[in-house]
Amino acid sequence: MRSVSAEEFRHWREEFDAAAKRPLRTRFRYAFIHTYKPVLDDAGYRSFDTMEDYRAWCERELPSWLGYGR
Amino acid sequence: MAAKFEYAQAEEIRDVFARHGVRYLFLGKSGAILLGFPDTTQDADLYVEKSPANGAALVVALDELGFVLDDVRRAEIRRGKDFVQLKDGPFDLDLVFAPDGIERFGDAWDRRVQIEGFPVCHPSDIIASKAAANRTKDRESLPRLRAFVDWWLEKHRR
């Protein structure tokens, strides 16, 4: 895992303080986004018996740049 | 792929699930966002208790929310397959019955945090789940999420 600089850490905490001042409804508006994810968004329904099955499917089927692989 | 998830839809989940007695918790980044984490995500992840009664109540609640479920989907959700992804309803929803890193629903339920009536996994459970999943995207987001959890725990220390 990458290391975090003291400056970056301080900046994050400022962001957390600022976010805490906004109402939840406002935070929601900026937090949930809508972008197309290839393969993942190409079926309306999927189900997996185990999480391991799901993880294996992600590794096998999804483009690596989506970040779902291990 | 559904439209972007809105606050009003989260309220619908909260109210409809409560009406039908569905036991669930917001998990993952959507849970962290409810706790105040300033970040982005696309869908809501719900950790749902795996039991016949809860599965049956969940199906009824999803019907009411506008998800179109055929007999196969109903049976799978009722049974509580570990992971069910709904992407052709009014909004995208991931139903997780056995998340990585959390042993028992009851334990997570006891640790839950209520935010404006939304039941949310405790931040330490959200971290545990992401750390156990250990995907590339989890590893990238974990340092900032851990910093948030430390910040959150400081603010909510009794």
* Per-residue confidence in pLDDT tens, chain B, 158 aa: 667 899 999 999 999 999 999 999 999 999 999 999 999 998 899 999 999 999 999 999 999 999 999 999 999 999 999 999 999 999 999 999 999 999 999 999 999 999 999 999 999 999 999 999 999 999 999 999 999 999 999 999 86
Is B139 within 8 Å of A1 when comparing Cβ atoms?
Answer: yes
Classify residue B14 by burial, with Cβ atoms within 10 Å: 0-12, 13-18, 19+.
middle
What is the ipTM for the molecules in this complex? 0.92
Closest CB to A69 among B3, B84, B135:
B135
Chain A environment of B37 (Cβ under 8 Å)? 16, 19
Beta bridge partner(s), residue B119? B114
User: How close A13 comes to chain B (CA, Å)?
Assistant: 7
Q: Three-state SS for B48?
A: strand
Amino acid at B63: D
Residues of B (50-69) whose Cβ lies below 8 Å from A: none
Side-chain half-sphere exposure of B109, counting CA atoms within 13 A: 10
Dihedral sign for Cα atoms in the order A69, B2, B8, B9:
negative
Is B87 within 8 Å of A43 when comparing Cβ atoms?
Answer: yes
Q: Where are the domains of chain B?
A: 7-153
User: Using N-to-C axis directions, what is the helix angle for B71-79 and B52-65, rounded to 10°?
Assistant: 140
- CATH placement of domain B7-153: 3.30.460.40
Beta-strand ranges (E) seen in chain A are 45-48
